[in-house]
Chain A
Amino acid sequence: MSRRVAIVAYAQTKHEPDKDSTREFMIQEVATGALRMAGISKADVDTVVNASGDFLDGRTISNMKTVASSGAYLKDESKVEMDGAFAAFYAYTRILTGNHSVALVVGESMASCYPGYIPSILSLDTSFDRPNSFLHEISAAALQATYYMHKYGITESQLAKVAVKNLRNARMNPFALRSIQGISMSTILKSRMLYSPIRELCAYPFTDGACALVLAEESKVWQLTDKPVWIEGVGFCHDSYYLGERKLSECESVALAAKTAYKMAGVKDPKRDIDVFELHENFSYQELMFYEALGLCPKGKGGETLDARVTEVNGQLPVNPSGGALAANPVHATGLIRLCEVAMQIRGESGKHQLKKKVRTGLAHGQHGLCAQDNIVFILRGGAE
């Protein structure tokens, strides 16, 4: 594989609970925004990959009518019905073959238009789980969180601390949906309990939002930007559907995805080799499990790592300086936003939430399915070579 692919431009909307906009406008806004940043028009785009979902759009073939707004008219277009980071991977392979030089990836959803947790309930096993109407995102997360806490002695305040960290970071992120002034442990612990131990502020918010990335192959990259963010490694993995068949105290599919990505990128020790982490944490407890799965700390030590302030913005391993999914979670776009945020950090364009340290290598993560069933990990690197 001699061709290299880089992120050359990006755009995201201000994420809101109920945007005064339409799905098509959101897509057009981020697609044209990203193209403008790259200094190109849609004529220069070879392929478009869309990330959206039929059950979130409320209509079959959710990409059928987004052809105009994503600029895919008369182009080679496809759709990955998973988190946007998986769509970015597909666009990356399209460029690697040499068939395409420039790809546009767009992901979006409008939670104000679909009935909350119903789409994920519709992904359940129809023979047993669905008719029982007990299992859904929150109850499944609660079951896993309780198991994890019990096994390793993680406390509720550690779960809340993740939310405090991320939502405090979100205050510096102009795109974040949740921007709560004076956020503290007591704010989190006073928020409504959904299914114990998952509190409302420890769970992702319903979000209207979109994100787009422009990817280009090496020979084109320097015409489009002087700060390319290279895709150095990527890995993804599917775990068992049944919670009872998984190792609930670990995120094995994150570990396997990261293993592939690290190998590809030549990352020997993520603690030493990676400067920033943008993780897709639908629930605060997941972030602790991700620390362990990514090899940032030994098994069971996620809580201690958080307590030692290692993952705060001034820490050695800053996690989610953008606020993560707890700050904004437009399903299908969230993973793309993680890629976007890492790219921004590497390029020095994160504004108020730019890390003080020099950022050269970053890790972006996306998830899909109940309790992070499918995960994808990207290693991005900036630099002149």
Chain B
Amino acid sequence: MRNIAIVGVGITKHVSKRRDVNIPEFVYEAVKAAIEDADIGIRDIDALVTGNMPGFEGVNCPELWGGGYWGGYKKPMLRITTGGSTGSSVAQGAFYLVASGVFDTVLTMGFEKQSDGATTVGLESAGMSDFVAMRAYGMPELDPAGAIGMFVFQAISYMARTGCTIDYFDRAAAMLRSNAAKNPYAHIQQQVTAEDIADTPMIAYPLRFGHTCPTSDGACAMIVTTKEKAQKMAKKPAWVNGWSSCAEEASIAGLHGAGSINIDPFDQRGCKFAATKAYAMAGIKEPQKEIHLAEPYVPFAHQLFLYPERLLLFNEGESFRQFDQGVMHRDGRLPICPSGGVVSSNAIGAAAMIRIAECALQIMGKAGERQVTRDVHTAVAHGLGGQANFNVVTVLGDKPAGR
């Protein structure tokens, strides 16, 4: 296996609606930015890997239409989609394509133009077969707050098992939103306080409006390449040293003949498994000590505490206890989501890739105003998809893992 690195990143400013571009034009903006960032040309790209959640735009395999706009003309192109973790699964596709030796330089894109479609359809259609079965077998009409529904249960479970309280979520959300205020690409850029968050209406206990992610139009592109080429393309490449993913059963029972044995979306065993494998691959033995920055996939504030524990960065039930000491803040020992996280920008197909891109930018020292105070030599990025059943973990560093 070869050493690989990210040498260019392009992210669009996330907004609610981009009415001035269609999908190919939209993603082109991110592609152009990434190619310029790496200071290369289209000719240097050997293959493309892309993905999004097509239910949102109502366009099947949009890269068939858009590939030419993105430099894919007469080039090998692959489409990978896994729900919310799409961005990270797409990036993993690029990692495998380069690390295996098949291609040298791969352009990878994740995007979502959510305003093109009805978000409810995009999200709820994941359970279409269940809804149809429900109606056929007489289940009452439910409105358990859409996608929030499952994560709300996760939040309650976290509170019950660890003793965490809702005011921590308020402070977490305030930190994340304020981080996003320094991120030129974030959707919601507001300096807010925990009191502001606590003032927002409750959607489903314990999650308030202020704790939840927006829906955004956004795109992200990255250039992944070999060690030899990386050293020419970037002053300080971000080395991708470890990656893994783990699939579980969709949380909470399905009715379409698919009773789930994932009883509680709190467990997230898959995240622990994927993290263990990714750290091992990267040669990280004590993540609690050796990881300097984390970008977990946090569309809801309570996950700022849950996922770092599942990523083995804190003991179970301990992460929130260290929050008030400032450990996770931008100037802390282990900054978490200095970009503002998914809770500040959520274009589903892009969000998981942006976690990786943001880690890369921090390692490369190119994170601008949101660059964290401490030196970042290692970072971990995480993507979450499906009904909390796909976990994808990527470990980056400022030196290539010895291979």
A: residues with CB less than 8 A from B are: 1, 22, 24, 48, 53-55, 58-61, 63-65, 67-68, 72-82, 86, 89-90, 93-94, 96-99, 119-120, 122-127, 235-242, 245, 252-253, 256-257, 260, 368-370, 373-374
Assess whether B250 is in contact with A97, with CB atoms less than 8 Å apart.
no
CB distance from B12 to the nearest CB of A (A): 19
Please determine whether A96 and B64 come into contact, CB atoms closer than 8 angstroms.
no
Say yes or no: A369 contacts B93, CB within 8 Å: no
Taking A68-B258, A74-B273 as contacts, is the C-beta distance between A97 and B246 under 8 angstroms? no
14 cross-chain CB contacts under 8 A? A58-B125, A59-B129, A60-B83, A61-B386, A63-B386, A68-B249, A76-B244, A78-B89, A93-B100, A94-B100, A99-B96, A126-B58, A260-B76, A373-B64
Among residues of B, the one whose C-beta sits closest to the C-beta of A69 is: B258
10 pairs of A and B residues whose beta carbons are closest in the complex: A60-B55, A96-B100, A61-B83, A77-B247, A123-B60, A238-B77, A59-B128, A64-B386, A122-B60, A93-B100
A64 near B126 (CB under 8 angstroms)? yes
Alpha-carbon gap, A90 to B106, bound state (A): 14
Given the known interface contacts A59-B125, A373-B64, the answer about A236 and B93 at a Cβ–Cβ threshold of 8 Å is no
Judged by a CB distance under 8 angstroms, whether B201 is at the interface is no
What is the CB-to-nearest-CB distance from B4 to chain A, in angstroms, rounded to a whole number? 10
**Interchain CB contact under 8 A, A240 and B73:** yes
Compute how far the CA of A245 lies from the CA of B97 in the bound complex, rounded to whole angstroms: 29
Write out the residue numbers on chain B whose beta carbons fall within 8 Å of the beta carbon of A256.
Answer: 74
Residue from the list B76, B81, B82, B258 in contact with A24, Cβ < 8 A? B258
Q: Which residues of B contact A240 (CB under 8 A)?
A: 68, 73
* Contact for B254 among A65, A72, A119, A253, CB less than 8 A: A65
The answer on a CB contact under 8 Å between B74 and A65 is: no
Q: Are B64 and A78 in contact (CB under 8 A)?
A: no
* B80 engages A79 (CB within 8 Å): yes
- 8 Å CB interface, B61-93 against A: 61-68, 72-83, 89, 92-93
How far is the CB of B254 from the nearest CB of chain A, in Å? 6
Cβ B246 vs Cβ A75 within 8 A: yes
Q: Which of A60, A79, A96 has the most CB of B within 10 A?
A: A60
**CA of A120 to CA of B65 in the docked complex: distance in angstroms?**
12
Report if B189 contacts A (CB, 8 A): no
B160-174 toward A: CB 8 Å interface, digit per residue (1/0)?
Answer: 000000000000000
In the bound complex, residues from chain A placing their C-beta under 8 Å from that of B245 are 76-78
Residues of chain A within 8 A of B82, CB atoms compared: 61, 63, 78-79
A82-B61 in contact given A96-B100, A99-B281 (Cβ < 8 Å): yes
Question: Which residues of the partner chain B approach A73 to less than 8 Å between Cβ atoms?
Answer: 247-249
Nearest to B58 among chain A residues (CB) is A122
Q: Which of A67, A81, A119, A368 contacts B247 (CB 8 A)?
A: A67
Q: Is the CB of B51 within 8 A of A238?
A: no
In the assembled complex, the Cα of A60 lies from the Cα of B119 at a distance in Å of 12
Give every chain B residue within 8 A of A93 (Cβ-Cβ).
96-97, 100, 102
Could you tell me the distance in whole angstroms from the C-beta of B288 to the nearest C-beta in chain A?
Answer: 24
B218 an interface residue at 8 Å Cβ cutoff? Answer: no
User: Are B60 and A97 in contact (CB-based, < 8 A)?
Assistant: no
Q: How far is the CA of A63 from the CA of B256 in the complex (A)?
A: 14
CA of A126 to CA of B390 in the docked complex: distance in angstroms? 31
Which residues from A are CB-within-8-Å of B390? 64, 77
Give min CB distance, A143 to chain B, whole Å.
Answer: 17
Query: In the assembled complex, which residues on chain B have CB atoms less than 8 Å from the CB atom of A53?
Result: 60-61
Is B387 an interface residue, CB under 8 A from the partner?
yes
With A96-B101, A123-B59 in contact, is A81–B79 under 8 Å at CB?
yes
Nearest CB of A to B71, in Å: 10
Cβ contact within 8 Å between A374 and B77: yes
For A65, list chain B residues within 8 Å (CB).
129, 250, 254, 256, 258
A252 / chain B contacts, CB cutoff of 8 Å: 74
CB distance from B50 to the nearest CB of A (A): 10
With a CB–CB cut-off of 8 A, which chain A residues contact B138? none
Q: Indicate whether B54 reaches chain A with its CB closer than 8 angstroms.
A: yes
User: What 0/1 readout, one digit per residue, does chain B (367-392) give for beta carbons within 8 Å of chain A?
Assistant: 00000000000000000011101100
Complex: chain A residue closest to B270, CB-CB: A74
Distance, CA A297 to CA B310, complexed state (A): 58
At the interface, yes or no: B227 with Cβ under 8 Å from chain A? no
Alpha-carbon separation in the docked complex, A82 to B93 (Å): 14
How long is the Cα–Cα vector from A24 to B257 in the complex, in angstroms? Answer: 9
B389 touching A122, Cβ below 8 Å: no
Count chain B CB atoms within 10 A of each CB in A61, A73, A78 and give the residue with the most: A61
Interface pair B96/A119, CB less than 8 Å apart: no
CA distance A48 to B75 in the complex (A): 26
Task: Please give me the residue from chain B that is nearest to A125 by CB atom.
Answer: B65
Question: Closest CB-CB distance, A297 to chain B, in whole Å?
Answer: 23
Is A67 in contact with B79, judged by CB distance below 8 angstroms?
no
User: Which residues of chain A come closer than 8 Å to B73, judged between CB atoms?
Assistant: 238-240
Q: A64 — which chain B residues lie within 8 A by C-beta?
A: 83, 126, 250, 385-387, 389-390
